[in-house]
Amino acid sequence: MKWIAALASSAFILALPAQAADITIGVAAEPSAMDPHYHNLGPNNAMKRHIFESLIIQDETQALTPGLATSWKALDDTTWQFDLRQGVKFHDGSDFDAEDVIYTLQRVPNVPNSPSSFAIYTKSLESLEAKDPHTLIIKTPGPRPLLPVELSNISIISKEAADAAVAGYKAAGGDAPDWPKTEDFNDGTLAVGTGPYTFGEYIKGEKIVLNANDNWWGGKADWDKVTFRPISSNGPRVAALLAGDVDLIDNPPTQDMAALEENPDIELVQGLSNRVIYLHFDHFEEPSPGITGTDKNPFKDARVREAVSKAINREAIVERIMGGVAVPAAQLLPPGMFGNNPNLKMTAYDPEGAKALLAEAGYGDGFELVLGTPNDRYINDEKVAQAIAQMLTRVGIKTTVDASTKSVFFKRRNKYEFSLYLAGWGSGTGEMSSPLRALVGTPNKDTGFGGTNRGRYSNPDMDGVLEEALQTIDDPTREALLQEASKIVMEDYGILPLHYEVTVWAMRKGVDYTPRTDQYTVATSAKPSN
């Protein structure tokens, strides 16, 4: 298997000469819509990159590179200038300019029925000004050092096409919306971007077809036609690859990798991702749901949380459950990424030390616990949870696993039904503020902290350091603050990192794939082999 440490270098890989070729890609998960602003979800974020582009692009290592903006700079602590690329055309032939960006940023918080809004990236914008057609001025109410990386998550749509769609609603009468509908993107009407591929066909559950944009400003795309086939089950996805029905798949199951490696027609490539698999405690309820044998919530005691951490053999999970396709974790972001604290060490496996801490905290006789987990969201998620349950049981915390499909699990988690649950987080920004703000920041709508903090952890010291980091323009100073915030959480055992996923792609001979830290499976990272 080829190991490519995507975090180790941000060097550009030169594209091979364009070839007339098609590619079919089998993916484990499909997008919920073709609307680039509808759902902030991994499969959606991967798919939109083909048709739409952002001002700033995250490369395979999540380093920021010019996109529809050729350059950007902070004029002062609250004013940013973005110089836009000239000569860019949308797929319908219309010109791209600053008005399209302004319209896009205004539309983002107004997407109807968004299950996970991109407004988290636009709520800090105070004013937008087109200084000229290719110069955009953005003002923020306070220092916003992460504005460039936040805007890298916003795909730019055509104002002209959107206005035409809305005008059509109005002409038809009735209760017409003021902003374009998600349905107009799904049927291709508004799937009009500036990206390397144009919309071809979208049949939910069956396929998504894209065609090369011959007028793309970046040159000729590597593939004439790209077909994505959603194949959620591991066995059929591997079978499709072996049969030649698809050319590339993501996330082959660990139990099949040895056989795939021995197949002369198949190649594997893997890279360390930014996704951390973690355990989160209930820090709030008393008593806590799923805990019996005590009227208290044991997880309010840091000694108990530390005991749980000591009871878990992370290296054994990586080797035995993950087949070596993971890296044990000491914090919420892997080494090499912005904000990782090199001084933090993984909790050593120490079951006797765990028992001693439980006794010291008054739980020498243990207690019973239900561990919640999805069974179809993360690599070997239920198997990992079962292994953890056995480890906790050995130190006196009798643990059973409550596993369910991701759609059921996340609804239950969001209702705070678990005292301890397993989940994962991938940093969309590529730096430490993303998991800290979402997973362990004190839930606060005004600050945007705690959006995924379903353990309701709260540490004012950490919040204060994180808030300071988010307003610090100087990169070295901001990174030091993020490292300190991470240290506070880890030493408090507020959340338990388990491992970082290593993402694997399998492909037939004739295709090369560059691993991505964001785990996205995209045609733009696939190249025809020489």
Residue 85, token pair as written in the block: 């690329």
Residue 322, token pair as written in the block: 């993950």
In tens, the pLDDT along 13-47 reads 333 334 459 999 999 989 999 999 999 888 999 99
Pairing type for strands 207-212 and 248-250 reads unpaired
Separation of alpha carbons 205 and 20, rounded Å: 27
Residue 389, token pair as written in the block: 């349950």
pLDDT at residue 231 tops 90 = yes
Q: In what helix (H) or strand (E) does residue 401 lie, and over which residues does it extend?
A: strand 397-404
Q: Give the percent of the chain with pLDDT over 70.
A: 96
Cα-Cα-Cα-Cα dihedral of 97, 101, 106, 107, to 10°?
100
For the chain, the residue count is 530
Report the pLDDT value the prediction gives residue 108, as an integer from 0 to 100: 95
Q: In what helix (H) or strand (E) does residue 277 lie, and over which residues does it extend?
A: strand 266-281
- Please indicate whether residue 85 or residue 232 has the higher confidence score (pLDDT): 85
In tens, the pLDDT along 447-460 reads 878 888 999 999 99
Burial class (CB in 10 A: 0-12, 13-18, 19+), 303: middle
Separation of alpha carbons 457 and 1, rounded Å: 40
Separation of alpha carbons 98 and 129, rounded Å: 8
Q: What is the greatest pairwise CA distance in the chain?
A: 73
Residues near 26 by beta carbon (within 8 Å), at least 6 away in sequence: 229, 230, 231, 237, 240, 241, 245, 246, 248, 249, 250
Query: Do 319 and 279 form a contact (C-beta atoms < 8 A)?
Result: no
Q: Please state, in angstroms and as integers, the Cα–Cα distance from residue 56 to each residue in 1, 130, 149, 165, following that order.
A: 32, 17, 7, 27
Q: What share of the chain is helix, strand, coil (3-state, %, to 5)?
A: 30, 25, 45
Separation of alpha carbons 238 and 255, rounded Å: 11
Report the pLDDT value the prediction gives residue 446, as an integer from 0 to 100: 79
Report the pLDDT value the prediction gives residue 429, as an integer from 0 to 100: 87
In tens, the pLDDT along 68-111 reads 999 999 999 999 999 999 999 999 999 999 999 999 999 999 99
Separation of alpha carbons 108 and 104, rounded Å: 6
pLDDT at residue 289 tops 80 = yes
Provide the mean pLDDT of the chain.
93
Average pLDDT over residues 127-144: 96
Report the pLDDT value the prediction gives residue 14, as an integer from 0 to 100: 35
Separation of alpha carbons 509 and 330, rounded Å: 37
Report the pLDDT value the prediction gives residue 10, as an integer from 0 to 100: 35
Domains of the chain (ranges; CATH) run 2-227+509-528 (3.40.190.10), 274-501 (3.10.105.10)
Report the pLDDT value the prediction gives residue 5, as an integer from 0 to 100: 45
Strands, E, within 28-101: which ranges?
Answer: 56-58, 64-66, 69-76, 79-84
Report the pLDDT value the prediction gives residue 13, as an integer from 0 to 100: 33
Residue 303, token pair as written in the block: 């000694």
Burial class (CB in 10 A: 0-12, 13-18, 19+), 294: middle
Q: Please state, in angstroms and as integers, the Cα–Cα distance from residue 262 to each residue in 2, 139, 266, 267, 321, following that order.
A: 13, 56, 8, 9, 21
pLDDT at residue 11 tops 80 = no
Q: Find residue 266's DSSP bridge partners.
A: 508
Report the pLDDT value the prediction gives residue 9, as an integer from 0 to 100: 37
pTM given for the model: 0.85
2 falls in which pLDDT band (50, 70, 90)? Answer: low
Residue 18 DSSP one-character state: P
Average pLDDT over residues 383-388: 98
pLDDT at residue 311 tops 90 = yes
In tens, the pLDDT along 329-341 reads 999 999 989 999 9
Residue 286, token pair as written in the block: 């008393």
Separation of alpha carbons 187 and 377, rounded Å: 28
Backbone angles phi, psi at 320, to 5 degrees: -90, -40
Separation of alpha carbons 495 and 344, rounded Å: 14
In tens, the pLDDT along 159-205 reads 999 999 998 888 887 677 899 999 999 999 999 999 999 999 999 99
In tens, the pLDDT along 482-517 reads 999 999 999 999 999 999 999 999 999 999 999 999
Average pLDDT over residues 368-374: 97
